[in-house]
């Protein structure tokens, strides 16, 4: 890793308030701890049920991907979940949702403790998602792009019966290319727009983002999901950005050419996934809004959190079932409801979910 202090990292997980550099474009630090948890344990971290804890915040779109993947694949019993609160300071995400403000398994108040347990002078931002080794209480990896791929390919012996193949071999090359494109132009495109440090950089990012959303609108004109009839890793990566678009990115990040709800294919696709088990039941709109509007003090110095929009519209009918559909793939089936302890506060979502 390059020599870099935590306050140098440009990331929504990082220092409270400091995201915009005057006159500059937004530059996300993409250097993460690249250790992997694999079937053969080649990095020293073998797949082992009950050994690892996934640290997330429901506010963070990158962490949201891992929560969805874990749900769809049925890894809840194999990988436990540590949920941080929606806001953080320049030091770390905190486990303020738990009794006494400590994660009940790790005993930590702050996620940074897991990072420092392995790297006492860890030089980068303390980010979610992160996989934590429970025996040592030390971070294993925070490589958000690799974590979900390994859930799909390395943890197969712990997948539930009927788990979908989210990363089918025949489509991997196309999925990888689409995911890379979406990362730079859409997932990170909203941040490039919102954290632009000049009018010129803002307009450049804005135009690129909307050109990319228009391209996705066209892609979804003839298929139910991004890769066709079935849900894949690509959908898991796009959904967290789309579901946050109207509540946050449209206004807070000035991505305001139009709301997503005015784009028929993208909007109906978002509603479709929201109403699909494993997607909408991971979304906490209150946490999402609190994170962006409270933490980003350089673009919202008052920290006022908006009351709208009305999220019940995510439950309105969609038209996506007009396409060829095999949602869960051959032999697949919908996941069970979330664990009772992991059900989103019903006041924070239009979904009414009963946990198991």
Choosing from 19, 60, 108, 293, the catalytic residue is 60
| CA distances to 44, 104, 144, 164, 165 from 273, in Å | 36, 32, 21, 15, 17
Choosing from 32, 108, 191, 202, the catalytic residue is 191
Instruction: Report the candidate in 87, 128, 90 with the shortest Cα–Cα distance to residue 295.
Output: 87
C-alpha–C-alpha distance, residues 110 and 114, integer Å: 8
C-alpha–C-alpha distance, residues 65 and 37, integer Å: 17
C-alpha–C-alpha distance, residues 90 and 167, integer Å: 35
To the query of whether residue 202 is one of the catalytic residues in this protein, the response is: no
Helices (H), the chain: 61-73, 112-118, 144-153, 172-182, 189-194, 199-219, 233-243, 250-252, 264-274, 285-295
To the query of whether residue 191 is one of the catalytic residues in this protein, the response is: yes
Question: Cβ(255)–Cβ(245) under 8 Å?
Answer: yes
Beta bridge partners of 138: 133
Active site (catalytic) residues:
60, 191
């Amino acid at each position: 890793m390059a020599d870099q202090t935590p306050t140098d990292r440009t990331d929504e997980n990082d220092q409270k308030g400091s995201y915009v550099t005057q006159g500059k474009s937004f530059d996300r630090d993409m250097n993460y701890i690249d250790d992997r948890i694999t079937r053969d344990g080649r990095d020293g971290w073998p797949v082992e049920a009950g050994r690892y804890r996934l640290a997330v915040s429901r506010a963070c779109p990158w962490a949201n991907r891992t929560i969805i993947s874990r749900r769809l694949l049925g890894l809840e019993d194999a990988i436990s979940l540590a949920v941080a609160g929606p806001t953080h300071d320049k030091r770390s995400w905190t486990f303020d949702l738990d009794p006494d403000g400590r994660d009940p398994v790790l005993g930590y108040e702050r996620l940074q403790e897991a990072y420092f347990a392995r790297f006492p002078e860890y030089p980068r931002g303390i980010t979610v998602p992160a996989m934590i080794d429970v025996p040592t209480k030390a971070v294993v990896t925070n490589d958000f792009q690799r974590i979900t791929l390994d859930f799909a390919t390395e943890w197969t012996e712990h997948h539930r019966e009927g788990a979908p193949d989210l990363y089918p071999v025949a489509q991997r090359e196309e999925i990888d290319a689409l995911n890379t494109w979406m990362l730079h132009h859409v997932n990170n495109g909203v941040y490039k727009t919102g954290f632009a440090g000049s009018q010129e950089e803002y307009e450049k990012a804005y135009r690129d983002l909307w050109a990319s959303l228009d391209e996705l609108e066209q892609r979804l004109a003839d298929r139910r999901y991004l890769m066709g009839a079935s849900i894949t890793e690509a959908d898991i990566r796009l959904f967290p950005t789309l579901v946050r678009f109207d509540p946050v990115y449209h206004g807070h990040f000035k991505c305001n050419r139009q709301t997503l709800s005015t784009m028929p294919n993208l909007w109906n696709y978002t509603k479709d996934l929201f109403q699909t088990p494993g997607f909408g039941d991971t979304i906490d709109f209150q946490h999402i809004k609190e994170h962006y509007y409270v933490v980003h003090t350089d673009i919202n110095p008052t920290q006022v959190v908006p009351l709208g929009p009305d999220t019940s519209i995510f439950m309105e009918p969609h038209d996506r079932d007009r396409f060829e559909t095999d949602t869960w793939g051959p032999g697949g089936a919908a996941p069970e409801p979330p664990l009772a302890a992991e059900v989103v506060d019903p006041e924070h979502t239009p979904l009414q979910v009963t946990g198991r």
